Amino acid sequence: MILSIWRYCHFSLAAVASIFLILASITGAILAFEPITDSLKNYSINNLNEISLKETLSVLDKKFKEVYEIQITNEDFVSAKVLTFSNQTEEVYLNPINGEILEKVKPKSKFFSFFTNLHRSLFFKKIGRVFVGIISFILSLITLTGLMLLIQRQGGILKIFKKIKENNFSEKYHVVFSRIFALPIFLIAISGAYLTFDRFVVGDLRNSMLLKEEILSDNKYLKFDLIALDKVKKIIYPFSKSQSDYYAIELVDRSVTVNQYTNRIYSQSFYPFSYFTKEWFYNLHTGKGNLLLSIILLVSSISILFFIFTGFKISTKSTLKNLKIKYLSSEKDSKYIILVGSEKGNTFEFAKFLSTQILSFGEKVIIKPLNSYKIYNQAETLIILTSTYGEGDPPSNANDFVSRFKKFNQPNKIKYSIIGFGSLKYPKFCAFATNIDRMIRPLDNFEKIVPLMKVNRRSVEEFNKWIKMWNCSKLTKIKFNEMEIET
């Protein structure tokens, strides 16, 4: 029952959000190129921890006629807004040791600006950002439910990385790549959801309550020579030479205003925990300043598209196979009951083959999922065909069969036969079929026609062995023809 809930949640959430997840993953992959290209630029200063703030201020005061602002980016670039001696106002990347200009700061690319707005809000501003945040949260739930299904399928959390034995490309690599990308996709999703939450809830509280400026009455001084640039985020120069105009300095843990002549700290505001949380989630979501993380974000965004494609393909294949099944006769007057347990719909093909021959004998037959088990007043023969999911679990359309079987007592004696489908690559080969056989065997009102048959990898040859045993039984009236075409 729990497995069915996880499976239903995983599929329904993915189906609802798929279009928006496709858009988010495509734009996310495109945006991942921005920090990658930034990280490849040669403006990064590797030894910021060895350069003092005093040294940099002194160098820039000599190099330029006036300095308005200095900023240290996540990529360890040092940029400054300056007035040159030729009276040109410029924003440049520079070397903080000698003041050498490395490159002019270019405006954000219109290309990346377009996709940033599309990714954040779908161009619907506040409403769009809230909606995108909800989609991000849904993606985190999809990832969690997928992880639970993966753990169940592999037989436990310690077996997640054991060999995958599927042969179908979509089914195999949907599982293989989920083991690799489940964590990064979850972090992308939850960080996106948190950033939306922070913007509209936490951010307002932080701005109104938590960042209270503390005016210092005692004499505390900022020692510029002891402050390394790796501890600095931004410096805004005083507007004028007046004593009432201060340096506004953003450090990694607080912001301070400092007297431009005495270096006395006038006021300070320590950042709350939510500030650092936002910074961490922002850097995690964007990959700013981290080349490796940016590449992981790029590949993970592309992997979301792969999961949507393969998941849709797997679900469509299973759904179409189930839709092709006709239940044939009425349950009330059918003597032959064929019940099927199948995760992907493959086992129904064998059920259809049997039902066609039963009908050719003029007998009435129904094909139903195992979860449809109930009282059959006219039933004489029950044929169960079932696969096994993961490590001995029932497939999704058979997860209630055991409880229903115990609930409904058949009024007549019924002959039965069970065929299990699976793969010998799995240690618990046809375990669910074995469990059903073990449950039915002791009951007096059920009589076995032939022993439990286990079919490896939907082998027609092995299925035909069951047909031969069936035809040799004295308990059967119908003789089946052998299957000729591989399903």
- What is the tens place of the pLDDT at every residue in 395-413? 888 989 999 999 999 999 9
DSSP string for 193-244:
HHHHHIIIIIHHHIIIII-PPEEP-S--B--GGG-BGGGEEEEE--SSSSTT
The predicted structure's pLDDT at residue 435: 95
Residue 150 lies in a domain: yes
Q: Are residues 74 and 117 in the same domain?
A: no
Q: Are residues 381 and 443 in the same domain?
A: yes
**pLDDT tens, 48-82?**
999 999 999 999 999 999 999 999 998 899 999 99
What is the edge-to-edge ordering of all strands in the sheet holding 254-259?
Answer: 101-104, 89-94, 78-83, 66-72, 232-236, 246-251, 254-259, 265-270, 214-215
Exposed / middle / buried, residue 91 (Cβ in 10 Å: 0-12, 13-18, 19+): middle
* Separation of alpha carbons 318 and 300, rounded Å: 27
Q: Are residues 196 and 341 in the same domain?
A: no
Residue 487 lies in a domain: no
User: Taking the mean position of all CA atoms in its chain, how far away is CA 14?
Assistant: 10
The predicted structure's pLDDT at residue 487: 46
Number of structural domains (the chain) is 3
Beta carbons of 249 and 235 less than 8 angstroms apart = yes
What is the pTM for the complete model shown?
Answer: 0.72
Residue 486 lies in a domain: no
Residue 7 lies in a domain: yes
Residue 480 lies in a domain: no
Q: What's the token pair of residue 372? A: 């449809």
**pLDDT tens, 280-311?**
999 999 998 888 999 999 999 999 999 999 98
The domain boundary, picked from 316, 343, 371, lies at: 316
Q: Are residues 120 and 136 in the same domain?
A: yes
The domain boundary, picked from 286, 316, 346, lies at: 316
Q: Are residues 301 and 351 in the same domain?
A: no
| Helix (H), strand (E) at residue 139 | helix 125-154
Residue 74 lies in a domain: yes
Stretches where the chain sits below pLDDT 70 are 1-8, 11, 165, 203-213, 217, 317-329, 485-487
Range of the structural domain that residue 423 is part of:
325-472
Q: Are residues 311 and 331 in the same domain?
A: no
Q: Are residues 435 and 385 in the same domain?
A: yes
Residue 196 lies in a domain: yes
Beta carbons of 159 and 89 less than 8 angstroms apart = no
Separation in Å, CA 347 to CA 386, 420, 448: 7, 9, 21
The predicted structure's pLDDT at residue 7: 65
The predicted structure's pLDDT at residue 6: 62
The predicted structure's pLDDT at residue 358: 92
Residue 101 lies in a domain: no
The domain boundary, picked from 270, 286, 305, lies at: 270
Exposed / middle / buried, residue 430 (Cβ in 10 Å: 0-12, 13-18, 19+): buried
CATH number reported for the structural domain that contains residue 382 in this entry: 3.40.50.360
Closest CA to 20 of 189, 173, 182: 189
Q: Are residues 31 and 68 in the same domain?
A: no
* Separation of alpha carbons 254 and 106, rounded Å: 29
Q: Are residues 237 and 298 in the same domain?
A: no
End-to-end CA distance of the chain: 30
Exposed / middle / buried, residue 331 (Cβ in 10 Å: 0-12, 13-18, 19+): middle
Helix (H, G, I), strand (E, B) or coil at 80: strand
The predicted structure's pLDDT at residue 31: 94
Q: Are residues 384 and 395 in the same domain?
A: yes
Q: Are residues 197 and 123 in the same domain?
A: yes
**pLDDT tens, 302-361?**
999 999 999 888 777 665 555 455 556 677 789 999 999 988 778 988 999 999 999 999
The predicted structure's pLDDT at residue 485: 61
Q: Are residues 125 and 168 in the same domain?
A: yes
Strand ranges (DSSP E) for 242-354? 246-251, 254-259, 265-270, 336-341
